[in-house]
Amino acid sequence: MSAIDTLPPLRDVITAHGLSARKSLGQNFLLDLNLTAKIARMAGNIETADVLEIGPGPGGLTRGLLAEGARRVLAVEKDARCIPALEEIAQAYPGRLEIINGDALEIDPAAQLTQPIKVAANLPYNVGTELLVRWLTPDTWPPFWQSLTLMFQREVAERIVAQPGSKAYGRLAVLAQWRASAQIVLHLPPGAFTPPPKVSSAVVHLEALAAPRFPAEPKVLERVVARAFNQRRKMLRAALKGMAPDIEDRLVASGIKPTDRAETVGLEQFCALARTLA
């Protein structure tokens, strides 16, 4: 494990600041700085971008991002115990790291960043999914972010990149792939983290498209997809009953058989259906 900067190894930082991992905050830390630098490189060209990092913890990924040349990092961490450790990193990279002690679900730091903006995070899985959905469903597109490089539980990562016909295909895949490209770029075993979680993880990289792949009204598409997958075993004519009295005709007009189930319907057809219902 070679050093990527002149700061102490993360194990020493954790001991010095008493950062014993708290389950309630989903704390599974990455201590291998070569690995965090590798994840930082997966975010793409960060030298000319501001990076919003959510959940920096003791700062492994933060150090990776800064060592890889991020123009500026804004880090939002809920656990106040981590702030002094992060301040030491800020001192080592003058003017390039700002820290906010707060809950990422309650604050919106986008206004404090300068375009282009990239997001990088290794978050507790429930918080990560909630934030991903928010980032994918803003009122206007393109969103504030150019790319998202996010660690997820492997199953969730597979749901984001899933294709029609697979078990993992659902609302998350449609929302992610409609207006972004999404790829799994790294798989990590539980042992990569301290303490190790129960499940494997994966890093997903999403790039915002300039425009949606197919036209549709965002709110209508979200509603259709939520309904369709809420009852994914039902035929669509039953699952979407109530959205329109002539739902069968609208399904047919969108190239969907009324007897199809949501998991076989592609993005283009869901968008066509959303247009007929708009």
153 binds ligand SAM (CB under 6 A): no
61 binds ligand SAM (CB under 6 A): yes
Q: Among the candidate windows 74-82, 156-164, 172-180, 252-260, which touches ligand SAM by CB under 6 A?
A: 74-82
Kindly give, in sequence order, each residue whose CB lies less than 8 Å from that of residue 17, ignoring residues fewer than 6 positions away: 58, 81, 82, 84, 85
Count each helix (H run) and each strand (E run) in the chain, helices first.
11, 9
- Closest by CA to 101, choosing from 79, 120, 123, 85, is 79
Site string for ligand SAM, 110-149 (x = CB under 6 A): ------------xxx--x----------------------
Residue 99 vs residues 65, 78, 89, 94, 184: alpha-carbon distances, Å = 14, 11, 10, 13, 28
Q: Which is nearer to ligand SAM, 23 or 219 (CB)?
A: 23
Find the shortest distance in angstroms from Cβ 123 to ligand SAM.
5
64 binds ligand SAM (CB under 6 A): no
Q: Which is nearer to ligand SAM, 129 or 254 (CB)?
A: 129
Find the shortest distance in angstroms from Cβ 207 to ligand SAM.
21
* Residue of closest CB approach to ligand SAM: 55
28 binds ligand SAM (CB under 6 A): yes
Round the CA-based radius of gyration of the chain to a whole number and report it.
Answer: 21
Query: Would strands 97-101 and 72-77 be described as parallel, antiparallel, or unpaired?
Result: parallel
CA gap 71, 48 in Å, rounded: 6
Q: Which is nearer to ligand SAM, 32 or 217 (CB)?
A: 32
83 binds ligand SAM (CB under 6 A): no
Find the shortest distance in angstroms from Cβ 180 to ligand SAM.
22
Amino acid at 87: E
Question: Which run of H or E residues covers position 90?
Answer: helix 83-92
Q: Coil, strand, or helix at residue 216?
A: coil
Q: Give residues in contact with ligand SAM (CB under 6 A).
A: 25-30, 54-57, 60-61, 76-79, 82, 103-105, 122-124, 127
